[in-house]
Amino acid sequence: MIAIVGGGPGGLTLARILHVHGLDAIVYERDAAEGARSQGSMLDLHTDSGQAALRAAGLEQEFLAAARREGQDHRILDHTGNLLYQEDTPDDAPMLRPEIDRADLRDLLLRSLPPRTVRWGSVFTHADGQVLHFADGSTATCDLLVGADGANSRVRPMLTGTEPAYQGKVVVQGAIHDADRTAPELAAMVGRGNYWVFGPDRMLGAQRNGNGVVQVSISIQGPADVDPAAVTNLPADWAPQFRRLLAACDEPFVVRPAYLLPIGLRWPRRSGVTLLGDAAHLMPSHGEGANQAMLDAVELGLAIAAHRDDLDAALEQYETAMYARTTEVAERSAMVAELMSGPDAAQKVLRFFGGADAVVD
């Protein structure tokens, strides 16, 4: 039996790929039930990674039905309110990086699995050999344990002592629910997709979700326990509409400190245990983490299917390719993170988006 700890995009995609290839797996997920926790904002899934994974999983049509093409729209402004760049997605634009609500992605994957594949409310604590232990005292056995349990993985310590380190940057997140009704002017200002405002010391982001929510966030350098009120209290030279956007947020702001694993992290090969997704390569959140987690899942699932009688060979094949691919992607994500920070971030991002031609006069 293959045990997958974690029912995020990576873990569920792996369970689906295994199912497609006639292999059983159980996903142990700590959430008490499918809808127990808000899944947060949107994910943009790329043609050659997240979408490729869904094609391999036989779920391309389901994805296209749930994906939001218009979520690819971008507006970039400076903190005084000047619109620097705008890109509206035509109705027939290719679905290169469409957005999907995390909850829709989870639903889509869950519906594709046999009943009882996911064991909700299973909080993995540790393993003795191939015996898995859960917080409620229950145990289970497996032939292969896959840690798909995200940034704070409990499986990772079985393979490496390396832990994610704080990068000195926090994201403070809020949300406007039912935004078209509760804050129509602000919802129109944000538009259908992504809205970025660059100031000298912080970046304000807003993003339209499929469920009527506008997510609002501020990224800033600072201590991990920063006071959200200090971050959302914008400096005097920010235009008033950005203050109104923050004031319209209708739930307490949440502080998310950015922790990262070192780029190129590897571990000594160990029979019967491996990692995928954020558990293996937590990288800056610039549109790659879920995509890579899902690609990991496909590559691991196919390796297991090809070497079902020799799981060591499957892990060897998977880990070798995964290290090379995700190291390159993490280096690129670190470069994008650098691009989006510092007092000249707006200019750097504009150049990235196509130079002067792209700029709104």
Ligand X SMILES: Cc1cc2nc3c(=O)[nH]c(=O)nc-3n(C[C@H](O)[C@H](O)[C@H](O)COP(=O)(O)OP(=O)(O)OC[C@H]3O[C@@H](n4cnc5c(N)ncnc54)[C@H](O)[C@@H]3O)c2cc1C
Q: Using CB under 6 A, which residues numbered 190 to 249 contact ligand X? A: none
Name the 3-class secondary structure at 276.
coil
Size of the site for ligand X (CB under 6 A): 31
Name the 3-class secondary structure at 24.
coil
Site string for ligand X, 100-129 (x = CB under 6 A): ----------------------xxx-----
Identified binder of ligand X from the candidate list 293, 314, 330, 349, rule CB under 6 A: 293
149 binds ligand X (CB under 6 A): yes
Stretch touching ligand X by CB under 6 A, among 8-16, 73-81, 158-166, 179-187: 8-16
b/e burial code for range 63-90 (CB count within 10 A of at least 16 → b): beebbbbbbbbbbbbbbeeeebbebebe
11 binds ligand X (CB under 6 A): yes
Q: Please tell me what DSSP assigns to residue 68.
A: B
148 binds ligand X (CB under 6 A): yes
Separation between Cα atoms, residue 105 and residue 285, nearest integer Å: 18
Stretch touching ligand X by CB under 6 A, among 177-185, 280-288, 316-324, 330-338: 280-288
147 binds ligand X (CB under 6 A): no
Instruction: Compute the least distance from the CB of residue 80 to ligand X, in Å.
Output: 26
Sort 2 into a burial class: Cβ within 10 Å, 0-12 / 13-18 / 19+: buried
Stretch touching ligand X by CB under 6 A, among 177-185, 247-255, 279-287, 302-310: 279-287
Angle of the 289-306 helix axis to the 311-339 helix axis, nearest 10: 170
Closest CA to 178 of 187, 170, 169: 187
10 binds ligand X (CB under 6 A): yes
174 binds ligand X (CB under 6 A): no
Pair 304, 22: CB distance under 8 Å: no
Binding region for ligand X (CB under 6 A): 5-11, 28-31, 43-44, 122-124, 148-150, 154, 171, 277-279, 285, 287-291, 293
